[in-house]
Structure 1
Amino acid sequence: MSEARTVHLLRHGATVRPGLLLGHLDVAITAPGIADCVRVAAGVTFTQVVSSDLSRAAACAAALGAPVRHDARWRELDFGAWDGRDPATLPADALAAFWHDPDANPPPGGERWSALVARVAAALADLPDATLAVTHGGAIRAALASACGFDARQVWAFDLPCAALLTLKLWPDTAQIVALRT
């Protein structure tokens, strides 16, 4: 069995538009949001930084003082017509169906859960040991689904507020088994 890789997944800090469904919509990050990410990242050891190409993640990554490689596969779920909307303004039945089964009930014009998991799984597989990925809540949940075999409903049990940090230890043999079940 080859060596395990340790990867750190950091959710971007607070944005200027909190409480909205922010998928591919590019919104600014707040100065306190950047500071929170810098503070949290100071507690981990990493040799490189990979970031979503959306500015709310990229700005946090840039503040860490290390070279950053941008990778669009680490973007948030594409909420389609719901992107940038307050969930309270959406049809309650459609939103409930999405939260219950995001693969069978994606947002109108948006991305299926399985597509998010597939692109994040590919991005996760490409991360070398000791990498910090600055990304989004949905992408972190998709990484958990891929690496640990959790289904869409199980990953919502994880509280991932802005600037949340998750560290995964990934063994090659385990990753291959999980990939076969996906």
Structure 2
Amino acid sequence: MSAPVLLHLLRHGAPELTGTLLGRIDSAVTAQGLADCVGRAVGLDVATVVSSDLIRARACAETIARDHGLGVTVDPRWRELDFGAWDGHAPATIDPAALSAFWDDPDANPPPEGERWSSLAARVGSACRDITVPTLVVTHAGAMRAALATLCGFSQAQTWSIDLPYAALLSLRVWREPSLAAQIVGLSA
């Protein structure tokens, strides 16, 4: 069996736009949010930094990578779930029954014109399979949950019960053989 690879998943810092469902709509990260992410990454031994292509994650990744003397690989597979017609809207403005159905089963009840949970899990799973060296991925809460589902076999309901505030750091030890499997090493929130 090959040695495990460390995979650090870092949620971007607090965005300037809050109180809404932020999927594909982008928002800059606040100065404090950026500082929080940089602080979480201190001492991480990584060979590469990967980022979602959205600016709230990318700005954090670029600053951290620069501090580590590394470049950033931008990978859109690490984007947040696409909330479709709900993207950018406050939950209170969305039909409560539709939103409740989505939270209960986001695969059977995706947002209008949005992405199913299984699609998010598939693209994040594909990105996870490309991790071969100690890596820091700066991403979003939904993508982090999809990684837990893919790597640890957690159900969607189990992953959504994990609190992942802005700048949360989740560290996993990932084995490549006999199948993709992982062990949670740490969670800093």
- The normalised TM-score by structure 1 is 0.94
The answer to whether residue 89 in structure 2 is matched with residue 85 in structure 1 is: yes
Instruction: Please state how far the C-alpha of 1:177 moved relative to its aligned partner.
Output: 7.0
Unaligned runs of 5+ in 2: 183-189
Residues of 1 paired with 2:133 and 2:35: CA distance?
25
CA contact (8 A) 1:14 1:163 kept: yes
Deviations 1:125-149 (A, max 9, x none): 1012210000000000000000011
**Cα separation, 2, equivalents of 1:111 and 1:105:** 10
SS in 2 for 1:127: coil
Partner residue, 1:126: 130
Matches of 2:178 and 2:88 in 1, distance apart? 37
Alignment root-mean-square deviation, CA: 1.3
State the match for 2:54 in structure 1: 54
SS in structure 1 of the partner of residue 161 of structure 2: coil
What corresponds to 1:162 in structure 2? 166
CA contact (8 A) 1:76 1:138 kept: yes
- The within-5 A match list for 1:1-182 is 1-64=1-64, 65=66, 66-173=70-177, 175-176=179-180
What TM-score do you get using the length of structure 2 for normalisation?
Answer: 0.91
Between the aligned partners of 1:164 and 1:97, the Cα distance in structure 2 is 27
Identity of aligned residues (%): 57
CA offsets, 1:24-67, max 9 Å, x none?
11111101110000000013211110000000000000111131
In structure 2, how many angstroms separate the alpha carbons of the residues matched to 1:151 and 1:35?
32
* d(CA) in 2 for partners of 1:18, 1:132: 25
**Cα distance in 1 between the residues matched to 2:32 and 2:43:** 18
Q: Is the 8 A contact 1:52 1:75 kept in 2?
A: yes
Deviates more, 1:109-118 or 1:36-45: 36-45
CA distance in 1, matches of 2:181, 2:78: 22
* Map of 2:187 onto structure 1: none
**Count of residues in correspondence between the two structures:** 178
* SS of equivalent residue, structure 2 residue 119: helix
Retained in 1: the 8 A contact 2:110–2:116? yes
Q: Which runs of 4+ in 1 moved over 2 A?
A: 173-178
Give 5+ residue unaligned stretches, structure 1.
Answer: none
CA contact 1:147–1:175 (8 Å) conserved in 2: no
Where 1:7 maps in the other structure, the secondary structure is strand
The structural deviation recorded for 1:18 is: 1.4
2:139 and 2:174 mapped to 1: Cα distance? 18
3-state SS, counterpart of residue 94 of structure 1 = helix
Looking at structure 2, the residues matched to 44 and 103 of structure 1 have their Cα atoms a distance apart, in angstroms, of 34
More strand by share: 2
